[in-house]
Structure formats: structure tokens, C-alpha cells
Copies of this chain bind each other. A is one copy, B any other.
Amino acid sequence: MSGTATTSHGERLIVVDWGTSNFRAFLVDASSGEVLDSRRSASGLRALSQHEFPHYCASQTDDWRQREGAACVPIYLAGMVGSARGWAEAPQLALPVSAADLADRVIAAPGLDNAWIVPGVKQVTPTHVDVMRGEEVQAFGALALAGVDTAHCCLPGTHSKWAHLDAGRLVDFTTLMTGELFHAVRFHTLPGEPAREDAPFDESAFRLGLSRAGAPGGVMHALFEGRSRHLYAGLERGQVASFLSGVLIGEEVRTMHTARPEIETVYLVGADTLRESYTLALENAGLTVEALGSDAATLAGVTAIAARHASRRASALAD
């Protein structure tokens, strides 16, 4: 088979990134990677019951799938959609994992023709237990976009992920609760009280927070300084959120850099709204930042997995 036949029917595919809070779908030209159309909604896992997944997915993609004289365009789904709380569980693979391994373990999404769910990954050792769904696809996408096979990726978010890839394989990753802790501290603790209202990003307060991460009292004291500095050291009400964010992102970067002092360059994937602050934090730690867009990484990762999956299916059919 030729390369362009790895996805059937005119070299198109549909990529769906379906998480807890959001649904995003892209119609892609498989050979060029060009996005021909896209859709987003807030219909994440939280908004749907299990039996609604095939119907909702079809309703969002049907007009892209029907082409005269051709079978329907394939759909590849990544993210929490493959968890036990999602459409169907695609069991998580143990490390090390390559993009080809993910392609080989794609499962058919029940109730919709030619729709496939990409599995996540897990790491279970006595000293480290971790899970990931969706970010591993972005990490492989980052390799493809950057044209490298070895990289350290930082994927910020509610549960930030640091993924380490070596010779095209994901060999290690760590989740840090940065985003979720920021929200919990901001809305549910005393130091967060002045930060509950929205305020613009304040770089000097953020940098002060960065400098407090790793101080002798540790992160649990540094967060309290959101209060004590507000009382006694000139930290203004409108600066507290940026300070607390600096403490937590600073702790994330400090911890990951301490664990792997050999890191020089970090591929910062996604974090469109957090890119400025993560770039400041990473550069403050002496790291070089290569920033990549979240959608671009997802599309590159899923496209690579889909190409391998389609090629294997075609071979199997040809046998």
C-alpha cells in the first residue's frame, strides 16, 4: 500500500480530544496534517452519561464523515474518553511505551463505525504510581513537531505532567497537582481569600512566589506567605493570586529539575493561558524553553498513531 493510503478514503481523518470538561474535534488532511475544520464544546465527560458518547460524537462529526462513494472517515479519540468514566475503557499501557505501542492497542469505540480510542499509560512501581490519558499523545506529537526522538516535556494543567522520552519511547512521567492545588488554595483557604476575585497577572508577585518555592519552610510554608506577606510585607490584594501561582509553579519546576538535573531544554506543550508564567518559571530555573501548541501536539500525535493503526489494519485485511 502507498503511504497516502494509510488512512482510507481520501486521506482524511477526524481527531477528537475528549476530556473531563471539553470536547474538541478536528477534520484533518492526513497527508499534510492541515486542519480542514474544527469544533469545540463544553460537553466533556462530566456533562454526559455513558450511553450518550456514540450519539454525541456522531452528531458532531457526521457531516465530515459522509463522502460520496467512500466509506466513512475514521475517527481517533484521545483523552479521558478512554477511561472507565468515559465512552469505553482502553486499558492503560505500562511504560516504556512508543507511539506504535499505542497504535497497536487502540480499541474500537462501541456503537460507532470506524471510531477508535487511543489508550493511556500507567507507571506502577513501589516508589512511583502514576496515570495519564491524552498527554502521552501530545508528548509523541511534540517529538514529531520538533523532529527529535528524545525530549523532556512539561504539559501544564489541572494535573501537570512531566514526560520523559528517550529514543522515541516514553520512559518516565510524573503528575503534579499544580493547577488543582492552585484552585483549592485560592478558593478554599485563608491565604487564598484576597485572590478569589480575578486580577491581572502580576509578574513581580509571580517572581516573588517563584523565589519562595524551595525556601527552608517548603511549599506548605511558602503558600502561607500569601497571607503573611499580604499582612506585613506589601503584597497587595491583587497580587496574591500571582504570588500563589508562582509558589506552586516554582515548586513544580524546582522538584522536576532537582529530580533530573541533566535537563537543559524543556518542551512546553499546551498551556496556552499559562505559557507566559511557565516560561518565566522554567527560564528562572535556567532551563531553555521550546513552546508548542496544545492542539498542534495532539494532532501530530494522533495523526502518527492513526497512520500506524490504519496501516496495520490494511495489512491484516490483505493477509
Contacts and interface: CB of A to CB of B under 8 A. Distances in A.
Contact of A215 (B127, B185, B188, B223): B127
A136 to B, nearest CB: 15
Nearest to A123: B228
B190 A228 contact: no
Contact of A175 (B185, B216, B221): B221
Contacts of A10: none
Contacts of A225: 129-130
B131 A223 contact: no
A180 interface: yes
Interface residues of A, number: 46
A176 B217 contact: yes
Nearest to A260: B216
A274 to B, nearest CB: 15
Contacts of A229: 129
B232 A122 contact: yes
Given A188-B188, A255-B216, A233 B177 contact: no
A112 to B, nearest CB: 26
Nearest to A190: B180
B220 A219 contact: yes
A122 to B, nearest CB: 6
A188 B185 CA distance: 9
B189 A187 contact: no
Interface in A217-250: 217-221, 223-225, 227-229, 231-233, 248
15 contacts: A122-B228, A124-B232, A124-B233, A129-B233, A131-B227, A176-B217, A177-B220, A177-B224, A178-B220, A180-B190, A181-B184, A184-B184, A184-B189, A217-B255, A219-B220
Interface of A: 122, 124, 127-131, 159, 174-178, 180-181, 183-185, 187-191, 215-221, 223-225, 227-229, 231-233, 248, 251-252, 254-255, 258-259
